[in-house]
Amino acid sequence: MSHAMELIVEGYVKLSGRKALEDLKAHRRRLADELKSLNGPFDLSSSIKLLEDEIVVIDAGLVKLKTAAAA
């Protein structure tokens, strides 16, 4: 998992940047889907896994925002 992504998400959570997190998640999802669709001699599984792990971190940030908004 990317420590940088954790810091980015943390910053967006502090700034209540729901839209930015949603955009970041959509971008990561598009990248992962594009890599999954590629056929070739390269093993892209580690890159796909990293993107999926980053999506999990982003989702956790979105949950924090939702929890904070409900409080």
pLDDT tens, position by position, for the chain (71 residues)?
A: 689 999 999 999 999 999 999 999 999 999 999 999 998 899 999 999 999 999 999 999 999 999 888 87
Contact 28, 58 (CB under 8 A): yes
Question: In the prediction, which pLDDT does 58 show?
Answer: 98
Question: In the prediction, which pLDDT does 69 show?
Answer: 83
Rounded CA separation 19/16 (Å) = 9
Question: In the prediction, which pLDDT does 2 show?
Answer: 80
Question: In the prediction, which pLDDT does 68 show?
Answer: 85
DSSP 8-state secondary structure symbol assigned to residue 41: S
